[in-house]
Amino acid sequence: MPTIDIDKQELFDYLGNQFDTASFRELCFEFGIELEEDSSEKGQLAEGERAQLKIDIPANRYDLLCFEGVSRALGVFLRREDPPTYKVVPAAEPHRITVSAECAQVRPFVVGAVLRGVTLTAERYQSFIDLQDKLHHNLCKKRELVSIGTHDLDTVEGPFTYEAQRPEDIQFVPLNQTESMNGRRVIEFYEDDQHIKKFLHIIRDSPVYPVVYDAKRRVMSLPPLINSEHSKISLDTRNILIEITATDLTKVNMTLNILVTMFSKYCNEPFTVEPVEVVYPDGKKFVYPELEQRLMATTGEYLNGIVGIEKSNDEISELLKKMSLEAEVQGDKINVKLPATRPDILQECDIAEDLAIAFGYNRIPRVQNNEATVAAPHPLNKLSDIVRREIALAGWTEALTLSLCSHDNNFAHLRRKDNGDEVVVLENPKSSENQICRTLLLPGLLKTVCENKRYALPLRVFEVSDVVLKNAAVERGAQNQRHACALYASNEARFEIVQGLLDEVMKSLNVVSVVEANKGVRYCLEEADIPTYLPGRGANVMLINEDGSSLELGTIGILHPEVLGNFDLKTPVSAFEINIEPFL
């Protein structure tokens, strides 16, 4: 969720001096933004320091990412002002950007607009820069999809061209630098720049780099990295040319619209923008920005139904005004005019949310919905709970270990080999503790015992939980398996203790030992050479069906002393681990 910093006094003045921090926090809550912090509440401000508000903005509300946007939206919400109408007015001398064919290889799209007669102050200038940063970070996906260039129009001459050239052929002085460099040098130069280096990868390996020229072949920007020193804007800039390049045509338009709707406020003629014509190599021409209101048709019945209120169409249209949405009632229908500032509205449901906010979430009448449905547990969870309770009743303590672990934990430490056919491996873990999904519960329980050495022996610990196994036969390539694992750690291994617990669990599931019966569903221990266990003290736990067929459920044994050493344990441990899904 993006956060913006706003000058407290300036905002409170704008809203008519009716708020203190507490009541403003309430307003934010109601509107769906969050006052995270008021710097004056944190302690004494330094002399001359102005109180700042930190406000969390929902990730899809790009129109609230600057002072201009959030103050206007709240002003309209409080019905102190009407939302402005944004107009595209023709320029005396039309602006044009011609796109060369090579751009398609690296960054195909460009859009533009001109803000005429702008009055900047230090605060407005900073807000303009900050908004670009926020947009670059969020909507523009760290400049990968979209990047913004802004220029002092009076330092350059149109028509402009958007080209893609070999880096060696591009030569210019980047913003705030004195050295003239070519494209290769730019990459090298910014390799150590904390800010710019994060974007170098976007074009570094491309044979051609995107570049914007003016009519006199002066480089204006090298998207998505840096503008030129020559055309940079300053507090004295009066006419601003915005060019935005992109790989995503939807987002580039959203970005342009947000910038011009926010900052056209400071134009000679507020909320007007001069268009820029973009000509593509195939001769197709487009004019930007596209500020026309979108129309979305909905009905009072639908909106009322979603929110759970009963308002007339006229009342709905009044409420929507608080959200900067103009609505026309046409019989049963409500036609909502969506301003260019609200690209987040995709469907009627988005209008329903705005209506709910305008009405007030906490004023919506509570209506109990009494449709009868039948409750039911998931059968596997029900089975797990039976096994869990049996084991706990027998005196074992339940642990809940992590399902991700290191590869060694699951294999080498248990003296097991990875044949590549069982374990799910993660691509991008941040820690070696998260390399794989466990295929056994045992390593987690051994680590639990290791962390609890301070307690008197014996330790009896168990877990009933899922492991993950590869399975090429299912769509997802892997599936969970529910295991039960229990261990006993003491001065002596006492195999018969975990064996007795296993007998108990089996009995609770109506399965008898082969020692006690020779027909029916039974289980047995089959001595086996299992590297995790002490030789001669390990066995497979087998389920024998009524028809005599058998199935391996898991293993039981005294852990191999090397395994115990790998988990930093000095006491003998015996354990069993079985798959309980066959008992479903």
Which residues ranging from 239 to 278 are in contact with other proteins (CB under 8 A)?
248-251
Q: Is 146 in the site for other proteins (CB under 8 A)?
A: no
Applying the rule CB under 8 A, the residues between 527 and 566 that interact with other proteins are none
582 binds other proteins (CB under 8 A): no
Binding flag, residue 369, other proteins (CB under 8 A): yes
Give the one residue of 79, 361, 520, 570 binding other proteins; rule: CB under 8 A.
361
Q: Which stretch binds other proteins (CB under 8 A): 66-74, 210-218, 477-485, 538-546?
A: 477-485
Choices 43-51, 110-118, 154-162, 360-368 (CB under 8 A): range interacting with other proteins: 360-368
Binding mask 2-41 for other proteins (x = CB under 8 A): ---------------------------xxxx-x-------
Determine how many CB atoms are found less than 10 A away from the CB of residue 541: 22
Contact between 136 and other proteins (CB under 8 A)?
no
- Calculate the alpha carbon distances from 130 to 68, 240, 298 in Å: 12, 16, 36
Choose, by CB under 8 A, the member of 17, 178, 234, 347 that binds other proteins: 347
The candidate with the shortest Cα–Cα distance to 77, out of 388, 321, 409, is 321
In whole angstroms, how close is the CB of 142 to other proteins at the nearest point? 10
Name residues whose C-beta falls within 8 Å of residue 64's C-beta, 6 or more positions apart in sequence. Answer: 4, 33, 57, 58, 70, 73
Name which of 95 and 416 has its Cβ closer to other proteins: 416
195 binds other proteins (CB under 8 A): no
186 in contact with other proteins (CB under 8 A): no
CA pair distance 128, 122, nearest whole angstrom: 10
Residue 366: CB minimum distance to other proteins, A: 4
Closest distance of CB 461 from other proteins, Å:
7
Q: Which of positions 50-109 make contact with other proteins (CB under 8 A)?
A: 58-61
Q: Which of 46, 92, 122, 472 binds other proteins (CB under 8 A)?
A: 472
Residue closest to 502 by CA, chosen among 489, 513, 514: 513
* CA 289 to chain centroid: 29
Of residues 305 and 531, the one with the C-beta less far from other proteins: 305
Of the residues 367, 491, 516, 518, which one makes contact with other proteins according to CB under 8 A: 367
Helix (H, G, I), strand (E, B) or coil at 334: strand
One-letter amino acid of 475: E
Asked whether position 45 contacts other proteins by CB under 8 A, the answer is no
Q: Which of 116, 134, 416, 482 binds other proteins (CB under 8 A)?
A: 482
470 is a site residue for other proteins (CB under 8 A): yes
> CB burial class (10 A; 0-12, 13-18, 19+) of residue 354?
buried
| By CB under 8 A, residue 152 contacts other proteins | no
Question: Residue 67 or 462: which CB sits closer to other proteins?
Answer: 462
Collapsed DSSP state (helix, strand, coil) of residue 198: helix
Binding segment for other proteins (CB under 8 A), chosen from 183-191, 233-241, 284-292, 370-378, is 370-378
Using CB under 8 A as the binding rule, whether residue 130 contacts other proteins is answered as: no
The amino acid at residue 117 is G
Under 8 Å between Cβ of 514 and 542: no
386 binds other proteins per the rule CB under 8 A: no
Tell me which of 91, 478, 509, 521 binds other proteins, using CB under 8 A: 478
Quote the tokens at residue 578. 């079985």
Q: Would you give the distance in Å from CA 174 to the centre of its chain?
A: 33
475 binds other proteins (CB under 8 A): yes
CB of 239 to other proteins, least distance (A): 31
* Binds other proteins by CB under 8 A, chosen from 106, 357, 386, 509: 357
Characterize the bridge pairing of strands 333-338 and 294-299: antiparallel
Strands 285-288 and 209-213: unpaired
| Rounded Cα–Cα distance for residues 423 and 408 (Å) | 12
Residue 346 burial (10 A CB sphere; 0-12, 13-18, 19+): exposed
Compute how many residues bind other proteins; rule: CB under 8 A: 101
Q: Rank residues 22 and 515 by Cβ distance to other proteins and give the closer one.
A: 22
Amino acid at 120: L
Among 98, 479, 490, 508, binds other proteins (CB under 8 A): 479
For the CB of residue 396, give the shortest distance to other proteins in the complex, in Å: 5
357 neighbors 32 (Cβ within 8 angstroms): yes
Residue 213's CB is within 10 A of a number of other CB atoms, namely 23
CA distances from 125 to 62, 300, 368, 533 (A): 18, 43, 52, 71
Is there a contact between 459 and 490 (Cβ–Cβ < 8 Å)?
yes
Judging by beta carbons within 10 Å of its beta carbon (0-12, 13-18, 19+), is residue 200 exposed, middle or buried? middle
At residue 349, the 3 state secondary structure works out as helix
Q: What is the dihedral of CA 175, 181, 183, 186, to 10 degrees?
A: -60
Report in angstroms the alpha-carbon separations of 394 from 358, 390, 409, 490: 58, 6, 28, 17
User: Considering the rule CB under 8 A, would residue 584 count as an interface residue with other proteins?
Assistant: no
Applying CB under 8 A, does 394 fall inside the site for other proteins? yes
b/e string for 441-475 if b means 16 or more Cβ within 10 A?
A: bbbbbbbbbeeeeeeeebbbbbbbbbbbbbbeeee
Q: Could you give the string, one character per residue 430-469, with x where binding to other proteins holds by CB under 8 A and - elsewhere? A: xx-xx--x------xx-xx-xxx--x---xxx----x-x-
Of 19 and 160, the one with the shorter C-beta distance to other proteins is: 19
CA angle 564, 569, 573 (to 5 degrees): 60
Q: Quick check: 425 binds other proteins (CB under 8 A)?
A: yes
Per CB under 8 A, the list member of 235, 295, 349, 514 interacting with other proteins is 349
What is the smallest separation between the CB atom of 93 and other proteins, expressed in angstroms?
33
Shortest spacing between CB 385 and other proteins, in angstroms: 8
- The span from the first CA to the last CA of the chain, in angstroms, equals 44
- Please tell me whether residue 307 binds other proteins under the rule CB under 8 A: yes
- Contact range with other proteins by CB under 8 A, out of 90-98, 213-221, 224-232, 375-383: 375-383
Q: Which stretch binds other proteins (CB under 8 A): 151-159, 265-273, 301-309, 554-562?
A: 301-309
